[in-house]
Amino acid sequence: MMAEETNKTVAVTDQRRLGVDLVGQVAIVTGASQGIGQAIAATLAANGATVALVARSVGKLATVAAGIRSAGGKAEEFPCDVSKSEEVSAVVDAIHAKFGRIDILVNNAGMTRDTLLPRMSDEEWDEVIATNLRGPFLFMRAVSRPMMQQRYGRIVNVASVSGLIGNPGQSNYSASKAGLVGLTRTVAKELAGRKVTVNAVAPGFIASDMTAALGPALLDEVKKRVPAKRLGEAWEIAEAVLFLVAPSSGYITAQVLTIDGGLIG
| β-pair partners for 77 | 53
173 is catalytic: yes
CA dist 243 → 38, 79, 115, 154 (Å): 17, 27, 35, 11
Q: How far is residue 83 from each of residues 61, 124, 126, 189, measured CA to CA in Å?
A: 18, 14, 11, 24
Q: Taking a C-beta distance cutoff of 8 angstroms, is the pair 54, 28 a contact?
A: yes
Pick the catalytic residue from 152, 173, 205, 235: 173
**Closest C-alpha to 64, from 94, 49, 42:** 42
Instruction: Count CB atoms within 10 A of the CB of residue 66.
Output: 12
Catalytic residues: 173
